[in-house]
Structure formats: C-alpha cells, structure tokens
Structure 1
C-alpha cells in the first residue's frame, strides 16, 4: 500500500487552502471510529474530524522521497487537502468489504503526513489560537 507509485491526488478545496507551508499536523488518535487531526501554522489553527476506517502517518522526509503518487501529493501553498479516487488502499478495502463506501484523503505536514481512509468528508473547525485547538483535540481524543 505504501508506496503506491500510481496514486494520483486531486485537490479537495477547503478553508485550509493557501496556508503557509509547512503546517504541523498532529494526530490525536481515534475515538469511537472518529479521527481527530490538529493543523497548526503561524498564528492559525484548525481541527479536522472524520469518521475513519484506517489512517497512517509517515515522517515527511520519507513520505516526500518514497515515490508515493504524483507530485500533487506534496503541499505547494495552494490546495491543502488532497483526495484520490483510486489507490491500492481503496482497492484493498473494496476487496475486503465491497459494500463499504470509503474515501482516501491526504494531509501533508511539516513533520508527518497523514493518509486517511474515511467514510465521509472531513469536518473542519477554525480556532482562535493553538491552545484552543489543542484543548479541542484533548477533549475529543481517546
């Protein structure tokens, strides 16, 4: 599943587009099948929440040099969230459970990059400070 050299990412427009690079992304684990990520950069902070089948984080240096998909999988300061319509991970999920309708998202971070096999689009919350985002994450994480 990783690396998947045939992977093609497409933009998934959101309020996170245009953030300075590279943001720091922290996974707070899953709680009752919901994944919580915190995206921090400069003076802004966001929380991402999504129903999740599986997720994984890869150190950014390894991720960007692994030959994992097209160059659109990197963050260039434009569209932050990426989604793919076809991947080895989606095909494996379909083989194991053909009735599950999951989506495959990418969140690039300056420290770790996260890919998520999700049942829905991410819900995104804007916070006034990094501390407020971390309180949100702590309250929701397992």
Structure 2
C-alpha cells in the first residue's frame, strides 16, 4: 500500500499509547499512518542509518524501501535470549528523510492510508 510515495518520505512519531507505536509517513500527496504494537522502538538520524553497513547481503541502504523487516539482527538475537516465554520477535525499520524508526514487537505493522496530510496530522493515539 505504501508504494508510490515520493522519495524521500518524512516519518513523524505520533507517540506510543498502551504499547502501540504510531508513525505518520508523508510523501508528496500521499500520507499514511503506521501502527505497531512494540516492546521497544528508537529513532536514528537518517544519515547514520543510510551510511551504516547492514550486513553481507543488505549492504548500504539505497533509499528504495520504506518499510523493512530484518531477518536477523543483534536486537532480535538479544531479545530472543531474554524473552521469558520464548516468543519470536519481529524487527521492522521505517525509513524517513530525517529520522529512521526501528521497532521490535511480535506482530507486523498495520498501515492505513489517509486522504491528505491534514488527516494524517490529526491522527494519533491521543487525537483519535
């Protein structure tokens, strides 16, 4: 659904409410909301994310994918080792032009499309 947005999109943190991360993705005339139940999340400067090496097969980020799921990562490995009931976590990245967000949880994100940027800005855990 998120294909077709202008590069690079802007990703905005709309907050976490009851363990659910809310991100807004703006790209040209398209606007999306991402909800993901997560255990942890972090925002990284886009420049650091783009020039960092992401493993043998991934190489350096080329700017072509906005939502990515890691098959393996140090974060996945660490969380698997400490989860008290042995669940398999999932590690997603949401790439924006200013910040890249990474989230670790046990389900995939839900992506919704908005009609315009104003509708996207009004959406969020404490706004809807």
What range is the shorter-chain TM-score in? Answer: 0.7 to 0.9
Distance (whole Å) between structure 2 residues aligned to residue 46 and residue 96 of structure 1 = 33
Displaced runs of 4 or more, over 3 A: 71-74
Higher helix share: 1
Q: Which residue of 2 aligns with 1:119?
A: 106
Whether 2:91 is the aligned partner of 1:104: answer yes
How far apart are 1:72 and its partner, in Å? 6.8
Q: Which residue of 2 aligns with 1:17?
A: 3
How far apart are 1:47 and its partner, in Å? 0.1
Aligned residues: 124
CA contact (8 A) 2:36 2:107 kept: yes
Task: Give the direction of change, closer, same or farther, for the CA distance of 1:55–1:73 in structure 2 (3 Å limit).
Answer: farther
Deviations 1:60-93 (A, max 9, x none): 11211232442474422xx431111211000000
Superposed CA RMSD = 1.7
Could you state the TM-score of these two structures normalised by the residue count of structure 2?
0.87
Distance (whole Å) between structure 1 residues aligned to residue 94 and residue 17 of structure 2 = 19
Consecutive unaligned residues in structure 2, runs of 5 or more: none
Consecutive unaligned residues in structure 1, runs of 5 or more: 1-14
Q: Which residue of 2 aligns with 1:65?
A: 51
Distance (whole Å) between structure 2 residues aligned to residue 30 and residue 103 of structure 1 = 18
